[in-house]
Structure 1
Amino acid sequence: MRIRDELGELFSDAEFAQAFGVRGRRGWSPGLLALVTVLQFAENLTDRAAAHRVRFGMDVKYALGMELDDPGFDASVLSEFRARLVEHGLEERALDLLLTTLKDKGLVKAGGQQRTDSTRVLAAVRDLNRLELAGETLRAALESLACAAPDWLAEAVPIRQWTERYGPRIDSWQLPSSQAQRTELALAYGRDGFALLEAAHAADALVWLRELPAVQVLRAVWLQNYTRTVSETGREVKRREREDLPPSRLRLTSPYDLDARYGLKQGSWWTGYKVHISETCDPEEEKENIPADGGTAPGSGSDAAGPLRIITNIATTDATVTDAEMTEPVHHMLAARDLLPAEHYLDSGYPSAELIVGMKQSFGVTLVTPVLLDSSPQARSGAGFSRTAFTIDWDNRQATCPRGHTSTWWSPAVQRGTKAIVVKFDKETCHPCPVRDKCTRARSGGRTLSLRSRDQQQVLDEARTQQTSQEWRAKYATRAGVEGTIHQAVAVTGMRRARYRGLQKTHLEHAYSAVALNLIRLDAWWNGHPLDRTRSSHLARLDLSLSA
């Protein structure tokens, strides 16, 4: 109710017009459905529960501008609305509209400070191992064919025999315990799957059978997990060894969600996606100049509730995409909304020397982030001459060692896919050097240095020097607050587990979750409610009360 009083109508029907036709039966207002979807995520409701709240909740009716006797709508309308948004690429429209309104009121702007972090998202499907994936994929294809072409399927496969094996879902019975039995079952799945694919692709089979999504998924899974060879005794089916499997980015993990992938982070595996959340994190004193039309009354708002944190961007990827791969795309998204920060706080998974330089040159954004330290043996031991002990003359393409000797080799190279410069010192110079043991471990050659380009190396050296100071560490502590935002997203909207299947629908869920969190924060800020703090024990609270 406070949001409606302060911001008025957030989502007009015209903003969603392209997803709806002008002919046909009369439908519900897409602007109202967008707001209902936001309120649904704010309370973590199912479609049925959200429709019930619209029908009987007076506060929701007020927020939607509905009459008290309005009967609402059926829960299926929300599913149809989301499908239309995804079909027309409007997943982020609600977030864009809210941020535009907040920019007009001076509550969020470009420049300042922002922070970004990612977290895992579990797909709305069951985790399957390779054996379960094969069995369930074949079962799903048979179910689809039994519905679409029952007569053809009855002639193509032995129905009675296959019903015993593929009738129940794969998670409704226990798999064999011995490895030999599991291997035999996997090969049986493989032979049956190839037999079904051969029948669907036969010359006399209906063409549209092979175009069914479930049959195409079956073909993809079999190509990824099985091979078939021709021997003297006939065709022989084999399972691919683990080293022969395609990379996780390409490998299907479920027949029901083709975008979900296996992810690995900090030694933990999951099936699904990753979401990257960006929010403002300006110091509290910089919020004092917010204009009066920003919606705060004198004596309330930020003074009581602390600084306002607004989520400015949501990016959803499959689980295999690394944080570093999203550093540049996130800045492109922020630039499209005219919300690029001056300083962007990130953890060590996002940056590289190339990205630090590139984001500064392309977007004018300074990345405040720890970089990997020098990994040379001398730097790790702290007892020898690390790279910083050498003077680099970039103009003359030469390096000078602590003893005053100059390098004899300067050559561009590619190391682990990254452009580098290899600098070498002559072995005749290094061998008789009295401090050789502190400089190199090479038995025959001289000292070798690996450098980045001039701009990148200078930025890298400066960042490594700065991040060891207490001042930089105190400044970087600002980034830690984004962990609280992730916790709020998980606890309030249930972002840890995807509600829907597919990358686009999962991203729509995340975008509307971001809108819901922003409205919750605005409401708390306008009403002077302080941000939640880390929970404290009963004993700690007793100690505080006694101290007071």
Structure 2
Amino acid sequence: MTVFLLLGGSECVVSVRPRPWPKPDPQVAAAIQAIYRGRREVPLAVRVRDRLGELFPDASFVEAFGRAGKPGWSPGRLALVTVLQKAASLTDRQAADEVRENLAWKYALGLGLEDPGFDHSVLSEFRSRVVTHGLEERVLDLLLERLRTLDLLASGGSQRTDSTHIVAAVRDLNRLELAGESVRAALNALAAACPDWVDQVLVVDDWASRYADRIDTWRLPSSRAGQNELALHYAQDGFTLLQAVHAPGSPAWLRELSAVQTLRCVLVQNYTRTADRAGRLRIRRRERAEDGGDGLPPAPSRLASPYDTDTRWSAKRDLFWNGYKLHVSETCHPQADGDRPTRPNLITNVTTTCSTLPDSRALEAIHQALHRRHLLPARHYLDSGYPSADLIVSCARTYGIALVTAVLLDTSRQAKAQQGFAAHDFTVDWDGSQAVCPAGKASATWNDVVQEGVAKTVVSFAALDCVPCPVKQQCTSSRKGRRLSLYPRELTEAIRTARAQQQDGTWQRDYALRAGVEGTVRQATHTTGLRRAPYRFRFSAQPVSCRFAG
């Protein structure tokens, strides 16, 4: 295995060959036993090694590394260090110090008293290699596999899932700041990647003073007119920069830089360029369509930062944030009053999605991950943001999972007012392609249609039956007959059954089990600090004040 370490500014190639972990050093084990015998609780690191043994074998990370170079540290033990580091909320430097000084950590890692450990930069490089090769979930997979062998986890049973917001590790930028900072990020990336080309091509007045410091609201004009003028300056500078990068004499690889691609996307999303009768290009800011503008892109595709192109602005009730959404799943065990569950509640899956992705769209990915780990539940407790009629049916058919969830109630006028006849008051004969209203009249037409890409059945009642009906006011305000828009049979029956069940007191007491996942989410956010993303993608930036002197 090959690990690239940056030590003292030089790059050296280090290899790690998979091998079993050493047993705890006898001297360290004796010291641990003497210190904690009958006095205090044994540290977490010691309990992990005693109960779980070699939890993360080196071979599980072999695909992320090469096979040549100077011998280095075990990736499996680095994975354990990373877990202990996060549990104790330590920096990389502090975690490296714990490896050198903490007897409990030496015991867990199988190190001797005199082992010097490693430089703290090894941890950052290890995480980078893991992310680059898509092994982010390998540690969780190995842990869950070990818990399965200890009979603490199994497929079937009950699980619950909830989502929470994650704030990105970037500044919150308004549209004006975003435009200016995107130009600045592209300039810094170009200056770092090809300084000679920058010196020869980008000689533009005012760029040095405009982009020397980060774009900040506190230094921007306070008047609306001044802000609009500055926004156009940012756009003109951005388009000038893109034109220079795409010029025939410029290196073609410059236009492939991430910062340049991001700048192009930001300009397209926030500005329009049109040619007047004289052929001159006019740049205008995009405004919302409802305000008479050209329209802004939808939130799922709208960039919020040039330094993290995955983060998005999103809203949920009274919460408004820039970042991501995290879905946490854990086992749960229904229990009688006074009884304790025989197994602990254990997290089985963690899924990070775009903040604008609805919870219902994330459920399939969650079930696929649980299926891969052989940990699919028989009953899955969810809040009302996850289910739909289609998901209730498809989860039961594909995975054999019963979704225990509060589905949204009927939103028709009659159902909201709780007066009159809602859709569930009609008797539907699917085999006979006919519906019967509460007054006993049969439907006149039965048509299978597609509405907004969704297959539905439209059932209509004859005006001759509805207009003279004595209970018409309780049924419809239409001058014609009543119409019903039904989902396919399986979906309609599933949603009607779910709505009927959630009115039952026994179901509601069972559904109360779902609320426990909120405590798990809170524990995760407070213990690991995951409310705020710890990392972001950063461009290698160089000062631009000396490169765009004009």
Q: Which band: TM-score by shorter chain?
A: 0.7 to 0.9
Query: Could you tell me which residue of structure 1 aligns to residue 31 of structure 2?
Result: none
Q: Give the equivalent residue in structure 2 for 1:447.
A: 482
Distance 1:204 1:388, change over 3 A: closer
Query: Are 1:309 and 2:354 counterparts?
Result: no
> 1:51 and 1:495 mapped to 2: Cα distance?
21
Q: What does 1:29-68 correspond to in 2, within 5 Å?
A: 29-68=74-113
Letter in 1 for 2:317: Q
1:496 aligns with 2:544: no
**Do residues 241 (structure 1) and 276 (structure 2) align?**
no
The residue identity in structure 2 corresponding to 1:501 is R
C-alpha deviation, 1:456, in angstroms: 1.2
Task: State the alpha-carbon separation in 2 of the partners of residues 374 and 235 from structure 1.
Answer: 52
Q: Which amino acid aligns with 1:44?
A: S
- CA, structure 1 residues 424+467, in 2 after alignment: closer, same or farther (shift >3 Å)? same
Match of 1:362 in 2: 398
Match of 1:280 in 2: 331
**Alpha-carbon shift at residue 348 of structure 1 (Å):** 0.4
Which amino acid is the alignment partner of residue 140 of structure 2? L
Measure, in 2, the Cα distance between the counterparts of 1:285 and 1:24: 59
TM-score (normalizing by structure 2):
0.85
What SS does the aligned partner of 1:249 have?
helix
Query: Do residues 459 (structure 1) and 477 (structure 2) align?
Result: no
Structure 1 residue corresponding to 2:212, chosen from 151, 159, 167: 167
Letter in 1 for 2:115: D
Q: Within 2, Cα distance between the matches of 1:216 and 1:237?
A: 19
Q: Distance in 1 between matches of 2:350 and 2:192?
A: 39
Match of 2:3 in 1: none
8 Å Cα contact 1:210/1:216 also seen in 2 = yes
Distance 2:254 2:219 in 1: 32
Q: Select 2:468's aligned residue among 421, 425, 432.
A: 432
Instruction: Name the residue aligned to 1:154.
Output: 199
Q: Any conservation in 2 of the 1:284–1:306 contact (CA below 8 Å)?
A: no
Deviation at 1:360, TM superposition (A): 0.3
Cα distance in structure 1, aligned partners of 2:274 and 2:93: 52
Q: Is contact 1:99–1:108 with CA below 8 Å preserved after alignment?
A: yes
Aligned equivalents of 1:209, 1:404: Cα separation in 2: 73
Q: Given residue 411 of structure 2, which amino acid in structure 1 is its aligned partner?
A: S
User: Which amino acid is 2:136 matched to?
Assistant: E
Q: Deviations over 1:500-533 (max 9, x none)?
A: 1269xxxxxxxxxxxxxxxxxxxxxxxxxxxxxx
Range with bigger deviation, 224-233 or 372-381: 224-233
> 2-side partners of 1:392 and 1:426: how far apart?
16
Amino acid at match of 1:311: I
Shift of 1:125: 0.8
Per-residue displacement from partner, 1:185-239 (whole Å, max 9, x unpaired)?
0000011111111111111122222222222222222122222222227222222
Task: Return the offset for 1:471.
Answer: 1.0
Q: Which amino acid aligns with 2:313?
A: Y
- Aligned residue runs from structure 1 range 266-345, under 5 A: 266-284=317-335, 307-345=343-381
Q: Which amino acid aligns with 1:272?
A: G
Question: Do 2:458 and 2:484's aligned partners in 1 also have CA atoms closer than 8 Å?
Answer: yes
On the 8 A contact 1:260/1:502 being kept in 2, the answer is: no
Range with greater deviation from structure 2 (221-230 or 110-119): 221-230
Matched, 1:395 2:418: no
Which residue identity lines up with residue 391 of structure 1 in the other structure? T
* Structure-1 separation of matches of 2:179 and 2:421: 56
Find out whether 1:17 has 2:68 as its counterpart: no
Q: 464-473 or 415-424: which moved more?
A: 415-424
Q: Distance in 1 between matches of 2:284 and 2:62?
A: 53
Paired residues of 1:283 and 1:307 also in contact (CA < 8 A): no
When residues 407 and 172 of structure 1 are mapped into structure 2, their CA distance, relative to the original with a 3 A threshold, is: closer
Deviation track 1:266-320 (CA, whole Å, cap 9, x = no partner) reads 142211111110000013579xxxxxxxxxxxxxxx9989851100011111111
Aligned-partner Cα distance in 1 for 2:452–2:333: 38
TM-score by length of 1: 0.85
Instruction: Give runs of aligned pairs for residues 375-386 of structure 1, distance below 5 A.
Output: 375-386=411-422
Residues 1:134 and 2:169 aligned together: no
- How far apart are residue 146 of structure 1 and its match? 2.0
Q: After superposition, where does 1:250-265 map in structure 2 within 5 Å?
A: 250-265=301-316
Matches within 5 A, 1:79-98: 79-98=124-143
Question: Residue 156 of structure 1 contacts residue 196 of structure 1 at CA under 8 Å; is this kept in 2?
Answer: no
Q: State the SS of the aligned residue for 2:173.
A: coil
1:508 is matched with none
Q: Compute the displacement of 1:150 (Å).
A: 2.5
- Alignment partner, residue 200 of structure 1: 245
Task: Name the count of aligned residue pairs.
Answer: 487
Query: In the alignment, which residue of structure 2 is the partner of 1:472?
Result: 507
Residue 53 to residue 86, structure 1, CA distance change in 2 (3 Å): same
CA RMSD across the alignment: 2.0
- Please give the secondary structure, in 1, of the residue aligned with 2:315: strand
Q: CA deviation at 1:151?
A: 3.0
Q: Which residue of 2 aligns with 1:512?
A: none
Q: Give the residue type in structure 1 aligned to 2:79.
A: A
Do the aligned partners of residues 303 and 411 (structure 1) sit closer, same or farther apart at CA in structure 2, a change above 3 Å counting? closer
Alignment partners' CA distance in 1, 2:443 and 2:234: 63
**8 Å CA contact 2:412, 2:422 repeated in 1:** yes
Give the Cα–Cα distance (whole angstroms) in 2 for the partners of residues 151 and 388 of structure 1: 72
% same residue: 55
Q: CA deviation at 1:487?
A: 0.2
Moved more, 41-50 or 317-326: 41-50
What is the CA distance between 1:418 and its match in structure 2?
A: 2.9
Q: Secondary structure at the match of 1:186?
A: helix
Aligned AA (1:239): R
SS at match of 2:181: helix
- Measure how far apart 1:417 and its partner are: 4.0
Partner Cα separation in structure 2 for residue 391 and residue 235 of structure 1: 63
Letter in 2 for 1:385: F
Supply the distance in 2 between the matched residues of 1:305 and 1:60 (Cα, whole angstroms): 31
**Quick one: distance in 2 between partners of 1:427 and 1:233?**
60
Unaligned runs of 5+ in 1: 287-301, 504-548
Change (3 A) 1:49 1:160: farther
Q: Distance in 1 between matches of 2:397 and 2:341?
A: 37
Q: Which has the higher mean CA deviation after the structures are superposed, 245-254 or 117-126? A: 245-254
* 8 A contact 2:61–2:75 mirrored in 1: yes
- For residues 182 and 25 of structure 1, what CA distance do their matches in structure 2 show? 56
**Corresponding residue for residue 351 of structure 1:** 387
Change (3 A) 1:499 1:233: same
C-alpha contact (below 8 Å) 1:410/1:421 kept by paired residues: yes
CA displacement, residues 417-452 of structure 1 (integer Å, 9 cap, x when unaligned):
43221111100011111111111111x211111212
Query: Counting helix residues as a fraction of each chain, which structure ranks higher?
Result: 1
Question: Aligned letter for 1:18?
Answer: E
CA 1:81/1:172 → structure 2, altered by over 3 Å: closer, same or farther? Answer: farther
For 1:303 and 1:370, the matched residues in 2 are separated by: 26
Instruction: State the one-letter code of the partner of 2:495.
Output: L
- Aligned pair 1:119/2:164, yes or no? yes
CA offsets 1:80-117 (integer angstroms, 9 cap, x no match): 11111112111111111111111111101001100001
Relative to 1, partners in 2 of residues 1:61 and 1:428: Cα closer, same or farther, differing over 3 Å?
Answer: same
- DSSP 3-state at the match of 1:170: coil
Contact 2:269 2:302 in 1 (8 A): yes
